[in-house]
Amino acid sequence: MNDVTPKRVGVLGAGQLALMLAEAAKTLGIAVVCAGQRGDCAERVAEVVVVDLDDPIQVAAFAGRADVVTIESENIHASVLTGLNLAPNAHAIGIAQDRLLEKRFFEQCGIGCAPFLPVDSAEDLQSAAKLLGLPAILKTRRMGYDGKGQIRLQSSEGLPTAFAELGGVPCILEGMVRFDAEVSLIAARGRAGEIVFYPLIENVHRDGILRRSTVPFAGATDALQQQGEAYLRRILEELDYVGVLAVEFFVVGGKLLANEMAPRVHNSGHWTIEGAKTSQFENHLRAILGMELGSTESVPTVMLNCIGEMPSEQETSATPGLHRHDYGKAGRPGRKVGHLTLAAGEGEAIGQWYARLNPEDQG
Ligand code: AMP
């Protein structure tokens, strides 16, 4: 198929995902141009054009400079995406940016998820809590990330104020899942419909922020991997999706319950840079450019996020085999500023680094 391979990729956004896409593009001889702001971290490796991502005219003008446009965040207003040569397509992004549409879509695909109800008012919340029971989680339908836009409701005490606390915007109430583990599955689908899958990834979150991703998932079985692959295949085919897709799941009693999907490269796939034959970033570029997808063959690997501050090079260089990815962002509490990757066999070093990066978890 694709006889003409476009060579210039436009990325809407210029944060760390755009940065790592641009790094992967370099080795493929592909130019990446990002739409963002001065000082965004992708500036170190790619051209960044100052674009107001809420302005359809500016976005369309930016898109005209690229052969194909992709995203690094799903939180982009749907109105700016129409009419672009976009991969993944705007319909897929529109579903992934709205938790209610996303959950209904999972159900339509026959993919189990936590029980949920739409909440559009404080009264809705009272009745939804009665129906679903507590504890439950109230989540804004849009613009939630890294645990933002969520309130955990342990008892009815917080019910009267929770809706207003989230800004009175459309929400969903979700039943609390008592999961055995959290995992994600990442796949890439090419323009001819071919699909490659990475192995299930085990994820540890705290305060809604990913802290650690491990491959392979300790509880992985062939059956679980196959269930995940069957689910992602349904999603990808139903959406005629092109590019990398990540779906986060809860593992409950040996089964997968979908939590959410990201229509883009994903934090839980950063380990693929060192741990897989072809990284998620390279496979995303290959997919959207109509190139052959690369092997996802992987070795056991652990990725640790650096939240708030980046350990110095001096400190990280003391651990042999540690790969340090510094996004060059200013440190700020709760902000992802970099990540470290290690071979999973380095158990002791991983434990020490996890403790160093997550002091609140200790004791
Ligand atoms: P989310 O932004 O939906 O991915 O939520 C962030 C994190 O909150 C998840 O990774 C889980 O650790 C936790 N969480 C979200 N929804 C639920 C749920 N329905 N039940 C239990 N934990 C949840």
Q: Please report the atom of ligand 1 found closest to the CA of residue 176.
A: 20
Which residue's CA is the nearest one to ligand 1's atom 1?
A: 147
> How many angstroms separate the alpha carbon of residue 196 from the centre of ligand 1?
26
With contact defined as beta carbons under 8 Å apart, do 270 and 339 qualify?
yes
**Residue 202 buriedness (CB in 10 A; 0-12 / 13-18 / 19+):** buried
Strands 336-343 and 68-71 come out as unpaired
> How many angstroms separate the alpha carbon of residue 209 from the centre of ligand 1?
10
Pick from 252, 205, 249, 210: nearest CA to 230: 249
Mutate to test the pocket of ligand 1, among 75, 173, 259 (most ligand atoms within 8 A of CB): 259
Peptide bond into 6 cis (omega under 30): no
Ligand 1 neighbours by CB, cut-off 6 Å: 114, 137, 144, 147, 174, 176-177, 182, 205, 208, 248, 259-260
> How many angstroms separate the alpha carbon of residue 204 from the centre of ligand 1?
11
As a whole number of angstroms, the distance between CA 288 and CA 282 comes to 10
> How many angstroms separate the alpha carbon of residue 208 from the centre of ligand 1?
7
Which residue's CA is the nearest one to ligand 1's atom 17?
A: 176
Which residue's CA is the nearest one to ligand 1's atom 6?
A: 208
> How many angstroms separate the alpha carbon of residue 61 from the centre of ligand 1?
37
DSSP single-letter state for residue 176: P
* Token representation of residue 71: 């995203």
As a whole number of angstroms, the distance between CA 74 and CA 93 comes to 6
Contacts within 8 Å (CB) and 24+ apart, 342-347: 342/301, 342/302, 342/304, 343/299, 343/300, 343/301, 343/302, 344/214, 344/215, 344/299, 344/300, 344/301, 344/302, 345/300, 346/302, 346/319, 346/321
Per-residue model confidence (pLDDT) at position 79: 85
Question: What residues have CB less than 8 Å from 59, skipping those under 6 apart?
Answer: 12, 35, 51, 53, 80, 81, 84
* Ordered mean pLDDT values, 10 residues apiece, the chain (363 residues): 66 98 95 97 97 96 96 90 95 96 98 97 96 96 83 91 95 97 98 98 94 97 98 98 98 97 98 98 97 98 98 97 97 95 94 95 67
With contact defined as beta carbons under 8 Å apart, do 162 and 206 qualify?
no
Would you say the C-alpha torsion 352, 259, 207, 340 has a positive or negative sign?
Answer: positive
Contacts within 8 Å (CB) and 24+ apart, 82-87: 82/56, 84/59, 84/60, 87/242, 87/243, 87/287, 87/288
> How many angstroms separate the alpha carbon of residue 171 from the centre of ligand 1?
14
Alpha helices per DSSP H over the chain:
16-28, 56-63, 90-96, 99-108, 122-132, 159-165, 222-238, 272-275, 280-288, 313-316, 347-357
Pick from 252, 242, 271: nearest CA to 350: 271
